[in-house]
């Protein structure tokens, strides 16, 4: 039992950034932070269903995507998608830089899922193409295409919004 906990803790440490980036690509930052634990709890409950250990990252990514979609469905009637003003405690570095980061994330959330996820892992979590490929269960070529096309679309959206 203790070995299982240690193994799951290693999986958590290894995949936490990926799950956070995927959630952040769809949810406001505070929801993404909270969602990481929910995703791992869900994964722990159904880990016995993973038939190929090499596909664990892709399996976990699909749980994260579904959790984000569920959170969006629950929140849509009440709120918009992260348009709220950040709490005063979240404005520490600089109101302008936080505001700009929120606007950039909002533009990223408008991109197609494949681009949004790859860009979030690259720009938010600092992962390279090969690592993104492994984490999402994609080929390195697919990741390169997603990053290139996603960046082009993101630049266009940012230009429309007047963000340099």
Whether 111 maps to a domain, the answer reads yes
CATH number assigned to the domain comprising residue 140: 1.10.10.10
In this structure, the answer to whether residues 5 and 68 fall within a common structural domain is yes
Under DSSP, is residue 73 helix (H, G, I), strand (E, B) or coil?
helix
Whether 88 maps to a domain, the answer reads no
pLDDT at residue 117 tops 70: yes
Burial 24-63 (b: 16+ CB within 10 A, else e): bbbbbbebbeebbebbbeebeeebeeeeeeeebbebbbeb
- For residue 102, the model assigns a pLDDT of 83
In this structure, the answer to whether residues 56 and 126 fall within a common structural domain is no
The residue among 111 and 78 whose pLDDT is bigger is 111
Helix axes 56-75, 29-46, angle to 10 degrees: 130
Domain extent at residue 33: 1-78
In this structure, the answer to whether residues 5 and 57 fall within a common structural domain is yes
In this structure, the answer to whether residues 161 and 104 fall within a common structural domain is yes
* Chain segment 68-88, per-residue pLDDT in tens: 989 888 876 544 444 444 443
Under DSSP, is residue 69 helix (H, G, I), strand (E, B) or coil?
helix
In this structure, the answer to whether residues 163 and 99 fall within a common structural domain is yes
Whether 85 maps to a domain, the answer reads no
- For residue 161, the model assigns a pLDDT of 86
CATH number assigned to the domain comprising residue 29: 1.10.1740.10
Cα distance between residue 105 and residue 126, in whole Å: 15
Query: Structural domain tally of the chain?
Result: 2
Q: pLDDT tier at 157 (50, 70, 90 boundaries)?
A: very high
Q: pLDDT tier at 137 (50, 70, 90 boundaries)?
A: confident
In this structure, the answer to whether residues 118 and 58 fall within a common structural domain is no
* Chain segment 15-42, per-residue pLDDT in tens: 999 999 999 998 988 899 889 999 999 9
In this structure, the answer to whether residues 43 and 69 fall within a common structural domain is yes
Whether 83 maps to a domain, the answer reads no
pLDDT at residue 57 tops 90: no
- For residue 67, the model assigns a pLDDT of 92
Q: Which of 21, 46, 78 marks a domain boundary?
A: 78
% of residues, the chain, pLDDT over 70: 85
pLDDT at residue 52 tops 90: no
The residue among 113 and 86 whose pLDDT is bigger is 113
Whether 60 maps to a domain, the answer reads yes
Range with top average pLDDT, 43-47, 86-90, 91-95, 146-150: 146-150
User: Do residues 164 and 56 lie in contact, with contact meaning Cβ atoms separated by under 8 Å?
Assistant: no
- For residue 98, the model assigns a pLDDT of 76
Q: What is the arithmetic mean of pLDDT over 126-132?
A: 91
In this structure, the answer to whether residues 74 and 124 fall within a common structural domain is no
User: Do residues 117 and 136 lie in contact, with contact meaning Cβ atoms separated by under 8 Å?
Assistant: yes
In this structure, the answer to whether residues 63 and 123 fall within a common structural domain is no
């Amino acid at each position: 039992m203790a070995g299982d906990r240690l193994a799951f803790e290693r999986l958590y440490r290894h995949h936490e950034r990926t799950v956070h980036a995927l959630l952040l690509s769809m949810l406001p930052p505070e929801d993404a932070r909270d969602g990481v634990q929910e995703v791992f709890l869900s994964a722990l409950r159904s880990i016995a269903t993973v038939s190929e250990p090499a596909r664990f990252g892709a399996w976990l990514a699909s749980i994260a995507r579904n959790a984000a979609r569920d959170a969006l469905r629950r929140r849509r009637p009440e709120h918009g998608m992260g348009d709220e003003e950040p709490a005063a405690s979240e404005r520490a570095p600089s109101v302008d830089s936080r505001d700009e980061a929120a606007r950039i994330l909002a533009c990223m959330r408008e991109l197609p899922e494949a681009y949004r996820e790859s860009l979030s892992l690259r720009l938010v979590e600092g992962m390279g193409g090969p690592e993104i490929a492994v984490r999402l269960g994609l080929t390195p070529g697919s990741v390169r295409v997603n990053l290139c096309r996603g960046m082009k679309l993101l630049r266009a959206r940012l230009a429309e919004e007047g963000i340099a």
